[in-house]
Amino acid sequence: YPNDASRASDAFFPSENAYGTLAYEDLWPAYGDYDFNDRVVDYRYQQVLNANNEVVDLIGRFVSRAMGGSLNNGFGFQLDLNQNVINSVSGTRLFNNVVSTNANGTESGQSKAVVIVYDDASQVLVNTTGQAFVNTVSANPSVDSDTVDITLNFSSPQTVASLGTAPYNPFIFVDQTRGREVHLAGEEPTDLADASLFGTLNDNTDPNSADNTYKSATNLPWAIHVVGGFSYPEERTDISQAYNYFSIWAQSGGATYQAWYDDQPGYINVSDLYQ
């Protein structure tokens, strides 16, 4: 940034040339078919830093790869910041009247800064195949992935730590029902989540416990985060069938088989993955 005194450098997560992957099972609080391909999104964050290594802008790139099932889900993320420290949000794709936003582009009714990247996945990863699912049945025609770039500009520079940890509590909300949020295990719901769903069916969320959220009684999650490449299961194939050590990893609370998704001997049943 040789011509901009307020911007000095960039920092990327996972890296400038790599992505992380988020994969969701959208029938929470039920297990559903547990194939984790209902929403598959690759992401990369770019922090624009000033000379004091404070964040001036946060840029997120989100690449939607798959949409299994028939539910029209929204996708967003929550920073650990108050929404008032954000000057503007650009690039969001809101098609329906499900989400209300503040003047700065953050979601209204939230104590923290929540950004809805899009409110209806079916209008982002548009199904042109005539089939029921998008990029989850290997025998069906495929659809090109879709990329959304979101830019947050802060009203004053923020410390890197104040934003929280990437990927910044990403979540989906299911079938245009704003309160039916699905987060990574151990992440907090937003203020608009429907707390009456916690502890129902297979969910064992304790909203009063900082890390016991969006897990079953045996620690199974409804959303996963993998840094680097991730191949998701074929439609209606349980992830524990495709990845032999997934359930052991989850039920151990992440203590064992932390690389359950690696292509190591005996780890993956390739025929159970979307090709």
| Contact assessment for residue 64 and residue 146, using Cβ atoms and an 8 Å cutoff | yes
For the CA atoms of 26, 30, 36, 39, what is the dihedral angle to 10 degrees?
0
Q: How many residues does the chain have?
A: 275
Query: What is the rounded distance in angstroms from the CA atom of residue 145 to the CA atom of residue 106?
Result: 25
- In the chain, the amino acid numbered 155 is S
What pLDDT does residue 60 have? 98
What pLDDT does residue 208 have? 84
Tokens 């990029």 correspond to: 135
In tens, the pLDDT along 87-115 reads 999 999 999 999 999 999 999 999 999 99
Which residues of the chain, if any, have pLDDT below 70?
A: none
Q: Rg (Cα) of the chain, in Å, rounded?
A: 19
What pLDDT does residue 105 have? 98
What pLDDT does residue 1 have? 85
Identify the three-state secondary structure at position 122. Answer: helix
HSE-up of 16 (CA within 13 Å, CB side)? Answer: 4
Query: What is the rounded distance in angstroms from the CA atom of residue 85 to the CA atom of residue 81?
Result: 7
Backbone angles phi, psi at 248, to 5 degrees: -65, -45
